[in-house]
Amino acid sequence: MSTKSSVLSILQCQTDYISGTTLSHQLDVTRNTIWKAIQALKQEGYIIDTNAKGYKLTVTPTQLNQTLIQAAFPQGDMFTYDSITSTNSQAKQYADTLKKDFAVFIANEQTMGKGRFGRPFYSPKQSGLYMSLLYPSKDIQTYLHLVTPLTAIAVLKAIKTVTGITPSIKWVNDLFYHQKKITGILTEAITNIETGQVEHIIIGIGINLYKPTDLPNELKHIFGYISDTPINVNALVIAIIDNILTLLAQLPNTSFLEDYKKHCFILGKNITVYPTQQTHYTAKAIDIDDNGQLIIQTDDTQLHTLQFGEISIRF
């Protein structure tokens, strides 16, 4: 961890002033190094009160801030971007050089955001949050099919904690609010060609925070957003990462599926199922099983289980 991140971590734990001398002793660096770290934090938007007693953190920035997020997760690598082609693509490129427990890539804009089935994911600047978690899969090989529903409930709870709103879930990977989509999740795998083993998973998350200034006409019927007022983006990112890591560490405990079902608004409703992009049929969503699969009833009253696929529902 850099000196700047270490100083920030200490300041966040303090309720009173801490002297530069104490900081330099704790981190085994010079007073001048501490002063430079404080100045760098101030330039990033932190308001740090300084007097004869030392330093005290009084205001934390709400805009995307790598130092703040990194300080919360020293066991991982954090990367932030004002604009990027795709956070999932960046995560794939980084997989071979991953040295820490995981890595997270976060951006204010994606110019080539990806959705399911190769579709583009609308990722405009200054209105959304786009992030990807790169995670080694060796300890969760048996539970890879649960990563997407696990992520959905992790993001839902983070949004509720930070913003106060409670989204609902459309199986398997979307969050809705006021009957419009506010979050999409794309889970991808990096597989070893020789062994066929999944070595890493990439969890891509796109969240519509605010209404964009220039929303394409074709998205107006489905595009939702969380708020008209500023959201603490760093708090939201930290809550999402923490929730996902906690649930992954708890596997094989799958109690999160009960929360998932509780918030899944399609259960008991008539839906349209798209086994391919060219075919579809109608069914009723009955339940979600212990593997996160959707149980449906078709018009002939037969029950079927969907492990993956595309569905839609009329509001």
Specify the range with the lowest mean pLDDT, choosing from 67-76, 108-117, 248-257: 108-117
For residue 45, pLDDT over 90 is answered with: no
Residue with token string 């070595």: 199
CA 14 to chain centre: 28
DSSP 288-313: E-TTSPEEEEETTS-EEEESS-EEE-
For residue 1, pLDDT over 80 is answered with: no
What gap in Å lies between CA 230 and CA 177, rounded to an integer? Answer: 17
Which architecture characterizes domain 270-312 according to CATH?
Roll (2.30)
H or E segment at 245? helix 233-250
Determine the CATH number of domain 3-59.
1.10.10.10
Per-residue pLDDT band for 309 (boundaries 50, 70, 90) equals confident
What gap in Å lies between CA 153 and CA 159, rounded to an integer? Answer: 10
Specify the range with the lowest mean pLDDT, choosing from 2-6, 32-36, 188-192: 2-6
For residue 62, pLDDT over 80 is answered with: no
Give the global pTM: 0.85
The fraction of the chain above a pLDDT of 70, given in percent, is: 100
Query: So where are the chain's domains?
Result: 3-59, 66-263, 270-312
For residue 245, pLDDT over 80 is answered with: yes
For residue 85, pLDDT over 90 is answered with: yes
Give the model confidence (pLDDT) of 98-140 as tens digits: 999 999 999 999 999 988 877 889 999 989 999 999 999 999 9
Which architecture characterizes domain 66-263 according to CATH?
2-Layer Sandwich (3.30)
> Quick check: do 3-59 and 270-312 share a fold?
no
For residue 278, pLDDT over 80 is answered with: yes
Kindly report the number of other CB atoms within 10 A of residue 283's CB atom: 21
What gap in Å lies between CA 245 and CA 69, rounded to an integer? Answer: 14
What gap in Å lies between CA 212 and CA 219, rounded to an integer? Answer: 11
What is the pLDDT of the chain when averaged over all its residues?
94
Residue 180 Ramachandran class (φ > 0 left, ψ -120 to 50 alpha, else beta): beta
